[in-house]
Structure 1
């Protein structure tokens, strides 16, 4: 792949790559959004973590990539994402060090991304942060497939979860702009199959919320069984998006965990 084509790929997956505000050599933190979410969910995290270059990830089918078809399966998603992260890590001045943050579906994607990079012999992240998600081996989607829902049903699901402006859910034209990505992302989750592999050898921080309608505290705690390294749980008051709504506390947790690396 030429330098020009590599830069084009990185700019599509990491649309705010040039705006981190971080000094050279800062630790990249790749942030993976929730189902239907976009890179803008983490845009305001940039310049909030000293020594850390926050890199919000943009998946196809939304915002700057709205013309691209979204993924509907985990395997091709993490394969292409691994290409991007490894290329960016190699290009950074952080000495092949990086960290991952995933919220909701993004937590499962981050977990599988680490395992894909490990299979390739690439560098593991120094830390994994997960929020809004049951552990991968315990997650289940018991309701009707979101891909089979009509627009009204999808809007009601998003309304229950919170985090989506009511004006968007109430406007059929606006909803039509995001519904395909939402349904595709939920299909990634609904068709996901966990497979046993060796434990991760890196610390995991788990951020849960007291009133999250899609996460079981017991199943979320299962993340602790997926690493042989340190595990740190944190609890927030609020719903599915409490970690984004209470960003200052989330930033403090992330900054403290990454302190040895920045």
Structure 2
């Protein structure tokens, strides 16, 4: 049973797959987030101070991290979406926006396409950040998930996505490398679906000083929708989660004001 065919419950249920960072039973809008590789739900916590109280901030939390650290990691994106589907379905009983940060944008976009294909409730908006549009996406050769032991985490530290102190702790490095390798395999082997563009607004948030994804590459997301498209460039680099919180608050208020949130 998937997200499109599972009947929504009256209220969202507790699930290991979903971290509800500020649960509210009177939500007028939900923001459903897909984190970047190696991350858990906690990376979105700074957004709470920017979001209106009637917004329920939820994060898809795959196995192998946070309170799921003892569970087997997934390495296939389709399987991940299949398994997450029934746990996400009860959250789709109010208007919702789907958000993907960086590599999580791949899963967020595929999730939105899946809902449309299967006839499920569709998001009021898709928001992606720090990522290139599907038409210009390039997977490194060799892909990161195939790099030798030690090299992968060193590369990620070099990208600025992890503290150098991780390299000084062999146990911590081994744990993070295992998670990173699985997560990179998920997004690097998940090919974007083909078909008609989405019929919902798409917003991209990026950094003007992003050294990995150019503004034109972010603007390529405009091709995935027949509706409104907007690109917001912040005074930041590639890792913009904290800076993006204020902009997400603006987006949430806009959706609420124009009726997208009930």
* Same fold by TM-score greater than 0.5: yes
Matches for 1:5-154 after TM superposition, within 5 Å: 10-15=14-19, 17=20, 19-22=21-24, 24-46=26-48, 48-50=50-52, 51-90=54-93, 94=94, 97-154=95-152
**1:34-93 deviation per Cα after TM superposition (whole angstroms, max 9, x unaligned):** 011111111232353112111122111111112222222221122223322223224xxx
Question: Which deviates more from structure 2 when the two are superposed, residues 123-132 or residues 170-179?
Answer: 170-179
Match of 1:4 in 2: none
The count of corresponding residues between Structure 1 and Structure 2 is 249
Residues 9-51 of structure 1, C-alpha deviations (whole Å, 9 max, x = no match)? 8420113x2x515461331111110011111111232353112
Runs of 4+ aligned structure 1 residues displaced above 4 Å come to: 7-10
Contact preservation (8 Å) 1:79, 1:113 = no
TM-score (norm 2): 0.86
Partner secondary structure for residue 157 of structure 2: helix
Match of 2:251 in 1: 254
The unaligned stretches of length 5 or more in structure 2 are 2-10
CA-to-aligned-CA distance 1:175-201 (integer Å, 9 cap, x gap): 212211211111122212223211111
Partner SS state of residue 232, structure 1: strand
Q: 2: distance between equivalents of 1:154 and 1:56?
A: 25
Unaligned residue ranges in structure 1 (runs of 5+):
2-6
C-alpha distance 170-258 of structure 1, shift in aligned 2 (>3 A): farther
Structure with the bigger percentage of helix: 1
RCO (CA 8 Å, sep 6+): is it higher in 1 or 2?
Answer: 2
| 1:248 positional shift | 4.3
